[in-house]
Amino acid sequence: MNLIEALRDIVGPAGLIDLADAEPLLTDWRGRYHGKARAIVRPASTAQVAGVLALCAEHDIPVVPQGGNTGLVGGATPSEDGTAVVLCLTRMNGVRKVDTGNDTVTVEAGCTLQQIQELAASVDRLFPLSLASEGSCQIGGNISTNAGGTAVLRYGNMRALVLGIEAVLPDGRVWNGLRGLRKDNTGYDLKQLFIGAEGTLGVITAAVLKLFPALRSHATAWVALDSADAAITLLSRCRAVCGDALTSFELMSRSQLDVVYQEVPDTRDPLDGATPWVLLIELADPSHSAPLQTMLENVIGAALEDGLALDAALPSSESQAAALWHIRHIVSEANVRFGHSVTQDISLPISQIPQCLAQTEARLLSAGLVDGARFLYVGHVGDGNIHSIVLFPHDVWAKVDDREARIEAIGKIVNDTTVEFGGSITAEHGIGRAHRAELAHYRRGVELDMMRAVKQALDPKGRMNPGKLL
Ligand code: FAD
């Protein structure tokens, strides 16, 4: 069989990518993994996806699904052996149904997150998932990674935002689970298997997503603190006073902000003092007249008075608030420009965050693994999710000769400490290729057996995204 011709018969000439132009699709966002592919296809319909998977099943060819390729754990990059077909969902970006009465949209997997946010806004609704990569990541990728982002505190992650899924199984059969139901107790909740499966069980081709009332009033604050403990206390107070209006509660360390200000020319510190921690807080409400600004001023005013907060800036215009969010959203790019980051995307019981970070730093320092590097923290602290980053300047990293061993040793200390404090080694980025060994280490026994049984049931030949997750 000539595979390329057989694939062209299924997806048409426009659905086949010339491998000579494919380097960006064979490299992960951080540039850490490079793979090879036998072919890269861009099907335009569920039937074409089914055709590709059936063909690959017949000839025992591995398949790597790819969305916007913004994942941070190498999940969408094929292996170096060049045996896989990469299946990009980019052309499947249609809207199948908008049902405002049910507050849902049914969309194809290749729609970018931003496209869905705009679609929701066009019918006076909100789709609340929000990530810095929203211009390029796709909803199929968001579902496959159970993406989180900056509004999980109020709306939950992708698991909470998906009502139905259409997926093509590894043998090419199509499962139409596109039900827009908020209650459905007909057996196992199969869609949840595909959410967070990182393309290892099949290809998601469409989904029914929940919409929410559009938000019409907002209040934002940038609050300087001297400890992570203070952030936890302020979170409790904000929750008590602001209730559901509390949408985002983002923590950044001074060390992280310094890298942003150094690397991104259009950013500057909204406050004068160099305090060790900063919170970016956002309240939002569907009503035009919700007293959000007053609520936020009251809670922060009280925190300033009793010394919990050191300083604060409350923007008075949308553009000022956007400038603060720009600082938050640009951290990953700033870090890439500054050096090499060894990042762990951990989650913890919120109360344990300060002690866990302090303990981790002490252990990394005493192990002598971080000479010349900086500790950076940024995260969705309201969800207990911190990105713990050891950032090596380029010149320091260039002199590290045992890089893979160093990355592993740092990861082990961070992960062991996180698990000791009751946390998880990945909160939102997933396992992919980067954390496969850790998954096997930290989730052994019955839990891992059950995951393997699910994989075996749906993909007995292990052809879907091999070398990822399990
Ligand atoms: P890809 O990277 O293409 O793929 C990710 C995984 O999903 C791979 O395993 C792939 O095989 C699989 N996959 C993709 N599409 C499908 C499909 N249709 N069917 C089956 N499997 C599929 N993540 C967060 O959760 N929160 C954040 O705040 C966040 N911030 C980020 C900021 C930046 C600057 C960047 C670069 C990334 C960030 N991410 C964040 C990570 C990333 O954007 C998310 O994981 C996103 O959900 C990935 O979507 P994607 O379409 O790019 O998927």
Residue 299 clears pLDDT 80, i.e. is over it: yes
Q: Which 3-state string (H, E, C) describes 205-266?
A: EEEEEECEECCCEEEEEEEEECCHHHHHHHHHHHHHHHHHHEEEEEEEEHHHHHHHHHHCCC
Phi and psi angles of residue 248, each rounded to the nearest 5 degrees, phi first:
-135, 145
Q: What is the mean pLDDT of the chain?
A: 96
For residue 94, the CA-to-ligand 1 centroid distance in Å is: 19
Output the CATH code of domain 217-329.
3.30.70.2190
Looking at domain 336-429, its CATH class is: alpha beta
Supply the residue whose CA is at minimum distance from atom 45 of ligand 1: 71
Residue 273 clears pLDDT 90, i.e. is over it: no
H or E element that contains 298: helix 292-305
- For 193-244, the pLDDT digits (tens) are 999 999 999 999 999 999 999 999 999 999 999 999 999 999 999 999 999 9
Residue 1 clears pLDDT 80, i.e. is over it: no
Kindly list the domain boundaries of the chain, sorted by start residue: 95-213, 217-329, 336-429
Q: Which atom of ligand 1 is nearest to the CA of 333?
A: 34
Q: Is the CB of 330 under 6 A from ligand 1?
A: no
* Percentage of the residues of the chain whose pLDDT score is greater than 90: 97
For residue 134, the CA-to-ligand 1 centroid distance in Å is: 10
Question: How much is the pLDDT for 272?
Answer: 83
Does 217-329 match 95-213 at the fold level? no
pTM for the complete prediction?
0.94
Looking at domain 95-213, its CATH class is: alpha beta
Q: Is the CB of 110 under 6 A from ligand 1?
A: no
Rounded to the nearest 10 degrees, how much is the dihedral formed by the CA atoms of 322, 328, 332, 338? Answer: 100
* Percentage of the residues of the chain whose pLDDT score is greater than 70: 100
CA distance 299 to 240: 10
Q: Which of 144, 260, 335, 336 to mutate to test the pocket of ligand 1 (most atoms within 8 A of CB)?
A: 144
Phi and psi angles of residue 339, each rounded to the nearest 5 degrees, phi first:
180, -150
- For 324-344, the pLDDT digits (tens) are 999 999 999 999 999 999 999
Q: Is the CB of 198 under 6 A from ligand 1?
A: yes
